[in-house]
């Protein structure tokens, strides 16, 4: 957990520095990081502000499905515009966050790609007007 916390502070922190902070050798840190990556426990990625790299429209899409949720959820996960998909209990069966270049791209995603998936009964879109907070620092609490 201490290694993960170190990497969340700075994903480019050298293994030697992490080792010093957590009381392990550089080799031990390298080995443990690789194991965490291989097991899918974590990813080391660059997080961008979508607006600054040309994605001017984000939305959360609530989706209601008839029948089995898995095929729809799986199809959504294959779409590059979809950032994450969650199965929910409540008003929607699935929630999908999508990142698009503009409103036309958002319309194409919802109307032509999501609503046409077999099993999708209805969608409701929540367009983001302003992103106030986005962090990935929940760490290992």
Tens-digit pLDDT profile for residues 67-114: 999 999 999 999 999 999 999 999 999 999 999 999 999 999 999 999
The answer to whether residue 132 scores a pLDDT higher than 90 is no
The answer to whether residue 141 scores a pLDDT higher than 90 is no
Give the burial class of 112: count Cβ atoms within 10 A of its Cβ; 0-12 exposed, 13-18 middle, 19 or more buried: exposed
Which has the closest alpha carbon to 98: 83, 119, 114?
83
Query: What pLDDT is stored for residue 9 in this prediction?
Result: 87
- Mean local confidence (pLDDT), 58-62: 97
Tell me the pLDDT band of 138, cut-offs 50, 70 and 90: low
Cα gap 11→102, rounded to integer Å: 30
What does the longest C-alpha to C-alpha distance in the chain come to? Answer: 54
DSSP class of residue 52? Answer: G
The answer to whether 55 and 131 are in contact (CB under 8 A) is no
Q: What is the H or E stretch that residue 71 is in?
A: helix 70-77
The answer to whether residue 45 scores a pLDDT higher than 90 is no
Say what percent of the chain tops pLDDT 90: 74
Provide the mean pLDDT of the chain: 92
């Amino acid at each position: 957990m201490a290694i993960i916390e170190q990497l969340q502070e700075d994903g480019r922190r050298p293994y030697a520095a992490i080792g010093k902070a957590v009381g392990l050798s550089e080799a031990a840190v390298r080995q443990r990081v690789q194991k965490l990556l291989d097991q899918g426990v974590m990813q080391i990625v660059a997080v961008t502000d979508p607006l600054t790299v040309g994605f001017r429209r984000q939305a959360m899409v609530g989706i209601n499905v008839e029948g089995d949720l898995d095929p729809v959820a799986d199809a959504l996960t294959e779409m590059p515009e979809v950032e994450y998909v969650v199965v929910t209990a409540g008003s929607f069966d699935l929630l999908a966050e999508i990142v698009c270049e503009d409103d036309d791209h958002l319309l194409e995603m919802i109307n032509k790609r999501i609503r046409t998936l077999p099993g999708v009964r209805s969608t409701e879109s929540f367009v983001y007007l302003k992103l106030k907070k986005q962090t990935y620092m929940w760490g290992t609490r």
